[in-house]
Amino acid sequence: MLSTILIAVAVAFVVMQVSGFCTTIYLHRAMAHKGLRLHPAVALLMRTELWLFTGINAREWIAVHRKHHHFTDEEGDPHSPYLVGLWKVLFLNAFYYAREAKKPDVVEKYTRDMPHTRVEAVLGRGSLGLAVGISMFVALFWAIQGGWAGPVIGVATFIVQGAAYISMNAVINGACHAIGYKNFQNTATNLRLVAWFSSGEGLHNNHHQYPASSKLSMKRGEFDPAWPVIRVLQALSLAKPLPLPSEH
Ligand SMILES: [Zn+2]
Ligand SMILES: [Zn+2]
């Protein structure tokens, strides 16, 4: 039983981290800001990962995020600690996100460049993705542990990885607009330690300065874990980043 729980902790951490990388590379840097182009197979793989383990609808996520950049920390920003306070964003970020994502006019306005595809008919249904994702966890832990405990641990692990992912995003949207240091004059902040665990997203002050940069670290001592992954994809001809701000 103890070894199964250790496996569960490792699985939750790895899946949450993979979801973080898929979010930042596919949803955020490639789709929302067009900082890089991804091979369609990589894009589909990452979108499917997010569908299974986060239930995110890509179009909705991109719309809410673009609106955040449009109105950053001013009236209209869907999740600004300047408007509602830091603690509310930290604890209710998922609620603020969902409230905005369910506005069809917002989604339509901010995703006009995204064609409606057949893939979306399936991958746009987040509850279906989550149902398949939970089933995969139940099957995995039933194979490892068996009995009644396996499926229970499977469901619990799925909930833990989802909660960890939601918390990570709340820290970016809350803390990275409230505490931390700034390289540039905008309302976002950098948190180096957060960047290590959020595939680079913690370097949020840099990101708001150069939204289309597919590399978020800008100074010595800053590390963006997603950037080496993008470089590997680039070496394999699976990703094509735009020139970085420093290269202009
Ligand atoms: Zn922001
Ligand atoms: Zn952004």
- The rounded distance, in Å, linking the Cα atoms of 90 and 71 is 19
Ligand number with the minimum distance to the CA of 211: 2
User: 39 CA to middle of ligand 1, Å?
Assistant: 27
pLDDT tens-place string over residues 19-40: 999 999 999 999 999 999 999 9
User: 160 CA to middle of ligand 1, Å?
Assistant: 25
Ligand number with the minimum distance to the CA of 82: 1
User: 190 CA to middle of ligand 2, Å?
Assistant: 13
Q: Is 114 helix (H, G, I), strand (E, B) or coil?
A: coil
User: 89 CA to middle of ligand 1, Å?
Assistant: 12
Provide the pLDDT for residue 209.
Answer: 97
Query: Would you give the distance in Å from CA 220 to the centre of its chain?
Result: 25
Q: Helix and strand tally (H, E) in the chain? A: 12, 2
Ligand number with the minimum distance to the CA of 24: 2
User: 173 CA to middle of ligand 1, Å?
Assistant: 6
User: 66 CA to middle of ligand 2, Å?
Assistant: 7
Question: Is 248's pLDDT higher than 60?
Answer: no
User: 184 CA to middle of ligand 1, Å?
Assistant: 13
pLDDT tens-place string over residues 186-196: 999 999 999 99
pLDDT tens-place string over residues 214-238: 999 999 999 999 999 999 999 999 9
User: 90 CA to middle of ligand 1, Å?
Assistant: 13
Could you tell me where the beta strands, DSSP code E, fall in 39-172?
none
pLDDT tens-place string over residues 96-130: 999 999 999 999 999 999 988 888 888 889 999 99
User: 153 CA to middle of ligand 1, Å?
Assistant: 35
In the chain, what are the domain boundaries?
Answer: 2-247
